[in-house]
Chain A
């Protein structure tokens, strides 16, 4: 899983980066073709509104403040849930990677919980927490927990034992060994987990908001469906895409800064 995630990146990053513009060519073409298809009448308005109509709907929502409020609510839920789940996952990953006892004690349990699709818990979570904020945060945290946990654990267990032996022979204590050898060695894998987690974070949140919420992007889309406002539904979907891309870019930027030593991130 983690290998597949990193492999294409290793190749693409070698390409010099005028990609600031190149990467937007394809999405732009899609929008243009879409617009043409709609104005020419190939696409019935009821199935897919034209991008211009979506933009108009977006502008109206923006002026009323509703759009920003919903984006903010979703963003807040996503980040808090991510922080909670991510830090618990990271802590368990560290503990189980570093201590055999801790691994034996908790890993089996965690693997069992992992195999329950966390979205299947929605009915239970609604019974527990109602459609309160807690329900959404709980689901996001649970979804984010596992990719971070697994990849942190994997990263720590796969630190080169020769480097650890080297650190020991040069007199590093446990804390120093962790800080200078184990953690930096596990970092590439932790980042893979982070990017997976960001994807799961949006997925979980949108599903949870669609089913049970009174605010947020998912709620906005569901409300629009009730009133057959297909342009707002499409707008919400486009915003998910943009937010997802934003989160991914942020994690990549962080990766590029902290992993500047990595051959994949060096300019040839």
Chain B
């Protein structure tokens, strides 16, 4: 099916259309694959995760949905290394450095006493004192569209802007896995949509493996390649989202997918919708 084109300038034969556009979305990813085996975690007597097995191929965008208290945030914190598992393993296919895996929290968690640029520099970890630190931080701020805010204190930024600074801080070390813990949960509806588009764009540009925890199924199907449903500490559903990007919000395909995931989410409840 692919059309062969002769490039007059370089003399190379390029393949275009079908294969080319596909190779753009499946171009070799910097992202790390993620393999989780028999993962268990309990807090006191409460078992939060009881045997999670999961493989995420490199560069995939996975969304994790579930009711509150289902263990999805705990799973994410385990992936990000903020908690340690009781049993089981999480591996990334190779030895990872701390700055390869970054986490974005629900709250921006910016240092109020550092300017926007300084907050982004925090994200460089041990490299924050190197001579090019400021240039790298500037680049990350530009990526989230906040170059003109570099000298501002967090106190004067809006909620969305703070979360964008937090995103820049997570991106500046060029992570290969990025974990998102409902980072858009506290934003207003319009800012959310804007932020979702931003997340999708940086994910494409930086090609990291993304794990997004959210309670918003619409957000999950709009962004992710794959949606995992967690119930009672186990993975109870695994949906591939094979829709082309950029996805049109409110389209029938998305709505249908959202509906079927929601049905399963709510079906787990004993007496239907409460």
Contact = CB atoms under 8 A, between A and B. Distances in A.
Interface of A: 162-163, 165-167, 169-172, 180-181, 184-185, 187, 259-263, 266
A260 B114 CA distance: 10
Contacts of A172: 122
Given A169-B82, A266-B155, A261 B107 contact: no
B230 interface: no
A166 B155 contact: no
A163 B155 contact: no
B125 A171 contact: yes
B112 A262 contact: yes
B123 A170 contact: yes
Q: In terms of DSSP, what is the predominant structure of the interface of chain B? A: loop
Contacts of B114: 180, 261
A140 to B, nearest CB: 31
B70 to A, nearest CB: 22
Given A167-B122, A180-B111, 17 more contacts: A162-B107, A163-B109, A165-B82, A165-B109, A169-B81, A169-B82, A169-B102, A170-B169, A171-B125, A171-B126, A180-B114, A181-B111, A184-B111, A261-B153, A262-B113, A266-B155, A266-B156
Contact of B155 (A180, A181, A261): A261
A101 B207 CA distance: 46
Contacts of B111: 163, 180-181, 184
B181 to A, nearest CB: 11
A260 B103 CA distance: 29
Contacts of B169: 170
B105 A162 contact: yes
A171 B98 contact: yes
A166 B122 CA distance: 10
Nearest to B155: A263
B213 interface: no
A169 B112 contact: no
Q: In terms of DSSP, what is the predominant structure of the interface of chain A? A: helix
A158 to B, nearest CB: 14
B112 A162 contact: no
Given A163-B109, A180-B111, A169 B103 contact: yes
Nearest to B127: A171
B182 to A, nearest CB: 14
A262 B155 contact: yes
A131 B98 CA distance: 62
A171 B82 contact: no
A170 B105 CA distance: 12
B80 interface: yes
Contacts of B123: 170
A21 to B, nearest CB: 29
Contacts of B81: 169
Contacts of A260: 153
Most chain A CB within 10 A, of B109, B123, B155, B169, is at B109
B153 A169 contact: no
Contacts of B209: none
Nearest to B101: A169
Contacts of B155: 261-263, 266
Nearest to B153: A261
A261 B118 CA distance: 12
A133 B253 CA distance: 85
Interface in B152-182: 153-156, 169
A173 to B, nearest CB: 9
The 10 closest A-B pairs by CB, nearest first: A171-B125, A184-B113, A166-B109, A261-B113, A263-B155, A261-B153, A171-B98, A170-B122, A162-B109, A261-B112
Contacts of A169: 80-82, 102-103
B99 interface: yes
A186 to B, nearest CB: 11
14 contacts: A162-B109, A166-B109, A166-B122, A169-B80, A170-B169, A171-B125, A171-B126, A180-B122, A259-B113, A260-B153, A261-B113, A261-B153, A261-B154, A261-B155
A260 B154 CA distance: 12
Interface string B74-105: 00000011100000000000000011001101
A197 B81 CA distance: 43
Contact of A170 (B112, B125, B154, B156): B125
Contacts of A167: 122
Contacts of B107: 162
Contacts of A163: 109, 111
A100 B127 CA distance: 31
A155 to B, nearest CB: 13
Contacts of B103: 169
A169 B105 CA distance: 11
